[in-house]
Amino acid sequence: MNMLENIPSSPKMKRKEYRSAMTRLENKTGELQREAVNSKIPVIIIFEGWGAAGKGTLINKLMMAFDPRGYNVHPIKAPTEEEQMRPFLWRFWTKTPEKGRIAIFDRSWYRRLSVERVDGKTGKKDWKRAYHEIKSFEKQLVDDGCLIVKFFLHISRKEQKKRFRELLANPATEWRVTKDDLRHHRQYGKYFKVFGEMLEGTDTDYAPWTIVESKNHNAATRKIFMEITGRLREKLSVPTTASPSCPVSGKSESAGKSIIGESDLSLSLSRGEYLEKLKKCQERMRELEYEVYRKRIPVLILYEGWDAAGKGGNIRRLSQSLDPRGYEVVPVAAPSDVEKRHHYLWRFWNRIPKAGHIAIFDRTWYGRVLVERVEGFCSQAEWNRAYDEINEMEKQFSDFGAVTVKFWLNIDRDEQLRRFNERRKNVWKQWKITEEDWRNREKWDLYLGAVDEMLLRTNTLHSPWTVVESNCKLYARIKTLETVIESVKKAL
Amino acid sequence: MNMLENIPSSPKMKRKEYRSAMTRLENKTGELQREAVNSKIPVIIIFEGWGAAGKGTLINKLMMAFDPRGYNVHPIKAPTEEEQMRPFLWRFWTKTPEKGRIAIFDRSWYRRLSVERVDGKTGKKDWKRAYHEIKSFEKQLVDDGCLIVKFFLHISRKEQKKRFRELLANPATEWRVTKDDLRHHRQYGKYFKVFGEMLEGTDTDYAPWTIVESKNHNAATRKIFMEITGRLREKLSVPTTASPSCPVSGKSESAGKSIIGESDLSLSLSRGEYLEKLKKCQERMRELEYEVYRKRIPVLILYEGWDAAGKGGNIRRLSQSLDPRGYEVVPVAAPSDVEKRHHYLWRFWNRIPKAGHIAIFDRTWYGRVLVERVEGFCSQAEWNRAYDEINEMEKQFSDFGAVTVKFWLNIDRDEQLRRFNERRKNVWKQWKITEEDWRNREKWDLYLGAVDEMLLRTNTLHSPWTVVESNCKLYARIKTLETVIESVKKAL
């Protein structure tokens, strides 16, 4: 059934009654906001609905009740050129609120399931897929502790017509009614169906819709405040600390032998072969860089590996011949304090390449299931959830047309020791080795388990892993170059 | 004399000699970069020059010598729509490097003085003014500890012709020569003059130009590395800590009596008058919001004032009637760790409104000369320099067409005490009062001196201060509303 049918109209209230109810609700809203700040809960409030249903006025009323230091309002229009060059959810990921802050969306990612769909701006395949992407996006945020409140402001076709007429009759407001508004009004029936489908398809336990009959402004206002205070109160009453211990394997030893244990580290290349191949590969890379640029394909090259496995030198050989306008190396270190206040994927969404560009990640989002897991920087429930979250994100990149190449640079323990000692002795390399490297080395086995599980659980068809045997640096460099070339060629 | 005339051509080197010199220079570059990281020095390297002079290749060579975790490359093209809606320097301020990082600009703000000028994309008034804006921008960054290295890659008309011909003859590179490139080549003479003017007009002690004769690629490479290592070494040898104590007044008591001491805090308004005026003002504000939107005027409304002077309530009355799509409240708290690694104005440049939008700042960049000065969060030289820096920034906003309205909400010490006590007692307001408020109150006189000096030194024609007598909140609210209305009307 269409959720927009048979909406009970809200009970009318006397003006005085309304006023006193609102004073209470507004105070309560402010109080709950402060509690949400203290409890570090990020809140997303979405306003969708018919044109002229009163979104602007209602949002402003809400803003007045909040402490202005705690929220941002995001009016969502058609995507800009910059935004079109990234996966659909990019511009929303980058706008997700910090822990303790509120993001109010005046229209949202639901544009894709409504106006963009009806206007034919988004193809059927894309908006169909958006259902899944949106639900997964909201789920990930809620899993991370976010509260999502979604309002749909409903008015009837008759009421909309009346409102547009009134606006048009007044020279001071006439300009606010756009041609698009009038066209959408003529398509009311079509939109009714599409909105209904959208609401039904995205009405989940973790992020349910609230449909607000908005003919009566006061009743709508009250309903919105009641819903927000109710949902906030509910969220605050649930302890958000330590996730329940999950019945999770942790290590995947049960799956049998180690994947990287099987990599043949004796593979090597002579200097002569290397130089010859390097030259050819680098030339090919430069050509491919131009081709992906012209075909607007984004390329992500991900480097993970043991300390001293040779990531830096490898990346250098890969990028040496490239045009700096077309690629970027994204070094990933510990998150800053601002980054820590967001979902762990937020900082990566901020750095994904735009169409036609290459991003080389020196360490990646896989830190969640490697260092963060091993060092206990996140809970077991968190890193265990991360495999699916990461697969989901990479799937979205792939659906957008991106090529993702993932490398694990593999060396054995003896080789690492040899390199550590060499670094210690060489005056040009001393800066590369720190106490932390030695500490990490102590935890080799823990990391080994984490690496194996990562390779097992995130090796997908669209974004496969390549284990690069790196005891011989020359061999490793050529293998990564050739792998990138193959992967990009396949996409072209 | 045109700086591009009579450039000595670089001495030729044998291949082997060049190779060994470069190995040394590259190692040295990496080493100096690490020292710059340790000394927290931000570095800007600019590449300007003729088309086909080899910028891309040279930049990539430089990147290879740097640790990829330490730099970003910014290719600068024509400004996007988003960028055109802000003052010219906005997109460069937001790209200035953190302390210890390197920003490499492939073309830069000098576009405005060259291609945008010749192509008529920027009017004469604008590019003339840009000379001053650019020099002031670079000066502010250098004052803050930044190293700026500027390269101009020079080739002759004949050499450029030869290079374009070669590129066009090869089907793999042909597409790299654009129509613009060829047009600019035909205008070589004109550009020669314009580039010469640009170099001469922006060749300063603190950010000098290095002209690199680029016919011989190896010689150019070597010169660039030598310049960078030389400038870095020089910068690192100068102690960057505590600025020399300046012979600065600090307080401006010498100027006579206190400005805010003269404000008449007995001014007040009855509730009846207030409600009547409030309604009228708010309606007018909403109309003006639409008008500035249509005329693409950015509006900045700045709030500073004593603790408990009523900023929050005041801002609420101002924004209550506005359409949330057109305005934003920007609350300013202590800087985050990322913000601290930048010039103190960086975070504000990131938040200035785009054309047609209103930004209401709840506390502002004046924190530099108020709390940061009083609490010793910055040195005397730093806050003393800030007055001019701020005036300069606000001047740039004004030149761009922005309206800036600045409020100091003034109350006296007794009134503050009364409000603090009230907050302590009222259960709905307790959250508003903290230990810090009481501590700040102890320093009333120090703040008074800082406020007076601020009002004196930053009260400019383009961005004047308004002291708002706020012992009576009702009076204060109407005065700010009326002041904003007046200022915006004048601009329309």
Section A174-190 average pLDDT: 92
Residue B253 has pLDDT above 70, yes or no: no
Residue A226 has pLDDT above 90, yes or no: yes
pLDDT at A174: 85
Residue B386 has pLDDT above 70, yes or no: yes
How near does any CA of chain A get to the CA of B322, in Å?
7
Nearest to B323 among A31, A56, A331 (CB): A56
pLDDT at A249: 45
Q: φ, ψ for residue A106 (rounded to 5)?
A: -90, 95
pLDDT at B260: 83
Place of tokens 């290590």: A251
Residue B247 has pLDDT above 50, yes or no: no
The model's confidence at residue B174, banded by pLDDT at 50, 70 and 90, is confident
| Rounded Cα–Cα distance for residues B322 and A57 (Å) | 8
Q: How far is CA A351 from CA A299, A334, A361, B428, B446, in A?
A: 12, 15, 9, 42, 44
| Rounded Cα–Cα distance for residues B485 and B248 (Å) | 38
pLDDT at A251: 45
Residue B471 has pLDDT above 50, yes or no: yes
Contact map slice: A 264-293 vs B, CB within 8 A? 287, 290
Section B8-24 average pLDDT: 86
The model's confidence at residue A257, banded by pLDDT at 50, 70 and 90, is low
- Work out the mean pLDDT of chain B and round it to a whole number: 91
pLDDT at A239: 61
Residues of A in contact with B59 (CB under 8 A): 324
Residue A57 CB coordination number (10 Å): 15
Closest CA to A136 of A393, A394, A402, A460: A393
| Rounded Cα–Cα distance for residues A276 and A168 (Å) | 73
Interchain CB distance below 8 Å, A64 and B325: no
Chains A, B: CB pairs < 8 Å: 101
Residue B248 has pLDDT above 60, yes or no: no
Per-residue pLDDT tens digits for B302-326: 999 999 999 999 999 999 889 888 9
CA nearest B38 in A: which residue? Answer: A431
Residues of B in contact with A316 (CB under 8 A): 64, 68
pLDDT at B89: 95
Q: Is the separation of the CB atoms in A444 and A410 below 8 Å?
A: no
| Rounded Cα–Cα distance for residues B35 and A429 (Å) | 14
Per-residue pLDDT tens digits for B392-421: 999 999 999 999 999 999 999 999 999 999
Residues of A in contact with B73 (CB under 8 A): 324-325, 328
How many CA atoms within 13 Å lie on the side-chain side of A438?
A: 6
Per-residue pLDDT tens digits for B264-304: 999 999 999 999 999 999 999 999 999 999 999 999 999 99
Per-residue pLDDT tens digits for B421-470: 998 888 778 888 888 899 999 999 999 999 999 999 999 999 999 999 99
pLDDT at A102: 96
Residue A170 has pLDDT above 60, yes or no: yes
The model's confidence at residue A433, banded by pLDDT at 50, 70 and 90, is confident
Residues of B in contact with A31 (CB under 8 A): 428
Nearest to A329 among B68, B325, B338 (CB): B68
Section B227-256 average pLDDT: 65
Question: Does residue A434 sit at the B interface (CB-CB below 8 Å)?
Answer: no
CATH superfamily of A253-491: P-loop containing nucleotide triphosphate hydrolases (3.40.50.300)
CA nearest A67 in B: which residue? Answer: B312
Per-residue pLDDT tens digits for A52-107: 999 999 999 999 999 878 899 999 999 988 899 999 999 999 999 999 999 999 99
DSSP track, A122-185: S-HHHHHHHHHHHHHHHHHHHHTT-EEEEEEEE--HHHHHHHHHHHHHSTTTGGGS-HHHHHHH
Residue B261 has pLDDT above 70, yes or no: yes
Residue B337 CB coordination number (10 Å): 9
Q: Is the separation of the CB atoms in B89 and B133 below 8 Å?
A: yes
Which tokens is B318 given?
């101002």
The model's confidence at residue A44, banded by pLDDT at 50, 70 and 90, is very high
Section A158-187 average pLDDT: 92
The DSSP output letter for A369 is G
Interchain CB distance below 8 Å, B172 and A60: no
- Work out the mean pLDDT of chain A and round it to a whole number: 91
Interchain CB distance below 8 Å, B324 and A34: no
Residue B244 has pLDDT above 70, yes or no: no
The model's confidence at residue A303, banded by pLDDT at 50, 70 and 90, is very high
Q: Is the separation of the CB atoms in B407 and B483 below 8 Å?
A: yes
Using alpha carbons only, give the angle B343, B344, B349 rounded to the nearest 5 degrees. Answer: 90
pLDDT at B256: 54
pLDDT at B160: 97
Which tokens is A434 given?
């720190």
pLDDT at B227: 96
pLDDT at B82: 84
CA nearest A30 in B: which residue? Answer: B428
| Rounded Cα–Cα distance for residues A115 and A117 (Å) | 5
Give the fold, CATH level 3, of A15-237.
Answer: Rossmann fold (3.40.50)
Per-residue pLDDT tens digits for B114-161: 999 999 999 999 999 999 999 999 999 999 999 999 999 999 999 999
Nearest to A325 among B56, B70, B322 (CB): B56
Residue A245 has pLDDT above 60, yes or no: no
- How much of chain A exceeds pLDDT 70, in percent? 96
Q: Is the separation of the CB atoms in A56 and B323 below 8 Å?
A: yes
Substitution target from A63, A321, A350 for chain B, most B beta carbons within 10 A: A63
pLDDT at B11: 74
Q: φ, ψ for residue A71 (rounded to 5)?
A: -140, 165
Residues of B in contact with A59 (CB under 8 A): 324
- How much of chain A exceeds pLDDT 90, in percent? 82
The model's confidence at residue B257, banded by pLDDT at 50, 70 and 90, is low
Residue A254 has pLDDT above 70, yes or no: no
How many CA atoms within 13 Å lie on the side-chain side of B284?
A: 16
Closest CA to B129 of B491, B460, B399, B461: B399
Q: Is the separation of the CB atoms in A242 and A38 below 8 Å?
A: no
Section B42-69 average pLDDT: 93
pTM: 0.84
| Rounded Cα–Cα distance for residues B125 and B119 (Å) | 14
- Range of weakest confidence among A28-42, A94-108, A255-269: A255-269
pLDDT at A419: 94
pLDDT at B8: 78
Interchain CB distance below 8 Å, A337 and B336: yes
Radius of gyration of chain A (CA): 27
Residue ranges, CATH 3.40.50.300, chain A:
15-237, 253-491
pLDDT at B252: 43
